Structure 1
Amino acid sequence: MKKKKGNVSDKIFNIVIYSFFILFTILCVFPFYYLFINTISDNSLSAKGLVNFIPKGIHFTNYLDVLKLKGLGQAAFISLARTVIGTSLTVIASGFLGFIFTKKEMWGRKFWYRFVIITMYFNAGIMPWYITMMNLKLTNNFLAYILPSIISPFNIILVKTFVESIPESLQEAAEIDGAGVLTIFAKIIMPLIKPILATITIFSAVGQWNSFTDTLFLVTDQKLFTLQFVLYKYINEANSLAALIKNSQSGIAVANLANMQTATSIRMTVSMIVVLPILFVYPYFQRYFVKGVMIGAVKG
């Protein structure tokens, strides 16, 4: 009898838990679904807020037309380049520094580790940061997207903690065989810390891809504008852009947009363009994410 009651209570508990997570998943997914169905629906209906659950008047011309906006291709290339290069260098630097800070024989190890970590708690502010970047000749410079983000104290902490969970005997055995620091890092440590590196890759890639404030403060050269900054401008200027599109006759792309686009369609479409790349990249690294964060956050 007790067993039967236990089974019933377990089933009720499972139903409640599954129902909760299904509802939570729907709440998380629905904003993306709502955004998408409005980008492929009749623009006039979308502008009036009449598209809520089911797309109406399905078409895909919004994506084709918005992609023709001036400067979008170059901006996408800059964003892709900064994401790939910046993420790669951040992951390598975080991995190596996190490993080095576990080596007890490192000169001044505690001092340098604290010197890096203390930057998490103190920020000089926007003006000193801008003056520093200007003095380093990083205004209107592609390196402004790369260099400041290479060293991340939070990432270093995650890697250091992860490396400390690896048995020291592996490194000691390699040292006995004559392996140096770089060899140990490349051939022993790197393969073992893939989960935490994948986690850092997600953090860094999302941050690089979504960033636009550095462009806002440091870049005036349109050739160095990132996709997010261009789309940020389009979203903020959607009403005036839609009016310009309707009244302008300067170019094929503008002429095509004049017949169809509204401020709402521009906002929805450019927002979807920003989100899509991360939605494709994240699932690939997600399998490492939980393991990486758990091991990197708790010293075992």
Structure 2
Amino acid sequence: MKKSGGEIALDIIIYILLILVLITTLYPFIYAFAIAFNEGIDASKGGIYLFPRKFTLDNFKAVFSNHEIFSAFFISVSRTVIGTIGTLLFTGLFAYSVSHNDLMFRNHYMRIMLFSMYFSGGLIPYFILLKTLKLYNNYLVYIVPYLFNSYYAILMMSFFRGIPAALEESARIDGANDLIIFFKIIVPVSTPVLATIALFSGVMHWNSWFDSVFFVPNKNLKTLAFYLYDLVNKANITSMGNAQIDSKASAYALQTYTAETIRMATMIVVIVPIIIIYPFLQKYFVKGIMIGSIKG
């Protein structure tokens, strides 16, 4: 069917708008890469927009010259993996249970869940609670408080309710209990929503710095996101613009990079793992959100 002149004009406008959105979205990443791979002193002169003018790897060498980043990287990776698995397991079991209307005290559980979504005790009571539970300055402070999430539970409940009841009934006839049904029947058919929540939870754990600042004074337990946060703060308050680097760095390095290039290099180190993982989960992400909203 041949399009009219108005439809063609509308398509052109839509394509132009999409291109502008694409450019607006990608340019900050392109700029960050250009600065991160450019010599610091040269970058301070300005004029770098798309590509490095003087290519160098010294910025990344300076970032990795500080041994603390390796410890922070390990903490962030382990926190992301353990925290995501824990969230899926704990929240998934809760969502599966309350998705059944015959669960005893189901309405009370739902009220508590909904109340916690909208109201919080505040930072000071939360801090006191962590101290009481022996989670302050403990690695588990990255895991335990995030095992349950009300939004994730609602998303899972919406999906679980759309699974045919005949699957569970046939499994119960064969003698399967609730745990067997959950792990061998519900989990395999719930890949879209589980992958979606895994992406949400993983990004949250990877980017989280707030708890590391206030609840973990131990430097050996700091996360990579905190490392970036601390580096950005140091760069902003340093009047000479000198990067805060390890005292063993060479004199040549001190002359080739600045706080800005170090900051960009650190940011690249933090975001690249997420950029690599996201394409593999994108199809599940879109499908999980759509199915969860439609079946809700």
Structure 1 range deviating more: 261-270 or 13-22: 13-22
The Cα shift of 1:281 comes to: 1.4
How is 1:165-176 mapped onto 2 (pairs within 5 angstroms)? 165-176=162-173
Q: May I ask how many residue pairs the two structures share in their alignment?
A: 294
Aligned residue in 2 for 1:261: 257
* Equivalent residue number for residue 34 of structure 2: 37
| Aligned residues of 2:39 and 2:257 also touching (Cα < 8 A) | no
Q: 1:254 to 1:151 in 2, by over 3 A?
A: farther
Deviates more, 1:101-110 or 1:195-204: 101-110
Q: Cα 1:44–1:11, aligned 2, differ >3 Å: closer, same or farther? A: same
Which amino acid in structure 2 is aligned with residue 258 of structure 1?
L
Residues 240 and 130 (structure 1), Cα distance of their counterparts in 2 relative to 1, 3 Å cut: farther
Q: Does 1:199 align with 2:177?
A: no
Aligned to 1:153: 150
Q: Which segment drifts farther, 230-239 or 122-131?
A: 230-239
Following superposition, the deviation at residue 8 of structure 1 comes to 4.5
C-alpha deviations, 1:85-110, integer Å up to 9, x for none?
Answer: 00111011222211111122321112
Counterpart among 179, 189, 212 of residue 209 in structure 2: 212
Tell me how far apart the structure 2 counterparts of residues 254 and 179 of structure 1 sit (CA, whole Å).
65
Q: Distance in 2 between matches of 1:164 and 1:149?
A: 24
The within-5 A match list for 1:203-242 is 203-238=200-235, 239=238
Pick closer, same or farther for the CA change 1:243–1:12 going to 2, 3 Å: closer
Corresponding residue number in structure 1 for 2:54:
57
Contact 1:245-1:254 at 8 Å conserved across structures: no
Show CA shifts across 1:194-251 (max 9, x none).
Answer: 10111101110110001011011111111111111122111110237964769x9x42
**How many angstroms apart in 2 are the aligned matches of 1:274 and 1:282?**
14
Counterpart selection for 1:92 from 84, 89, 94: 89
1:76 & 1:240 partners in 2: Cα distance?
Answer: 28
Counterpart amino acid of residue 171 in structure 2? A
Which residue does the alignment assign to 1:295?
Answer: 291
CA contact (8 A) 2:212 2:226 kept: yes
How far apart are residue 24 of structure 1 and its match? 0.9
CA distance in 2, matches of 1:101, 1:77: 36
Task: Please provide the CA RMSD for this pair.
Answer: 2.0
Residue 267 of structure 1 deviates from its aligned partner by 1.6
Partner SS state of residue 217, structure 2: coil
Distance apart, 1:70 and its partner CA: 3.6
CA distance 1:297–1:133, change in 2 (3 Å): same
Which structure 1 segments of 5+ residues have no match? none
8 Å contact kept, 1:245–1:258 = no
Unpaired runs of 5+ residues, structure 2, are none
Over 3 Å counting, the alpha-carbon distance change for 1:57 and 1:217 in structure 2 is: same
* Distance of 2:81 and 2:130 partners within structure 1: 22
Which residue identity is paired with 1:194?
A: T
Structure 1 position 69, deviation (Å): 1.7
Output the TM-score relative to the length of structure 1.
Answer: 0.92
